[in-house]
Amino acid sequence: MGKRYTSEYRAEAMKLMGEIGKQETSKRLGVTEWTLNDWKKKTKDEKNAEGTEKGIKMAAELREAQEKIKEMEKEIAQIRKENEFLEEAASFFAASRQKSKQI
């Protein structure tokens, strides 16, 4: 089995490769270009997986927010109905009071 490298080492190697190129990085680190290609692919795969996880989490949060909005819209509609009823009741009692004062 080959030599093991930490994820930090591989990440630094990717940065170096971006700065000086694959061939020079391979020479400086004593790692084959094939290994560098493999690390680069794994780094991309990890980033894609993170992006997918974030997307799934954001979609779930969006669904929760949409459900909460629907609930709030229902509550607002109910409150508006109650306010209309109270306004009508207040008008009715005000008119009733006016009639009783006239009598």
Q: What pLDDT score was predicted for residue 32?
A: 92
> Token digits for 83?
């306010």
Q: Residue 3: exposed, middle, or buried by beta-carbon count in 10 A (0-12, 13-18, 19+)?
A: exposed
Q: What pLDDT score was predicted for residue 1?
A: 55
pLDDT in tens, 15-56: 998 899 999 999 999 999 999 988 888 888 777 777 777 878
Element (H, E) at 49: helix 33-102
Q: What pLDDT score was predicted for residue 72?
A: 98
CB 13 within 8 A of CB 24: no
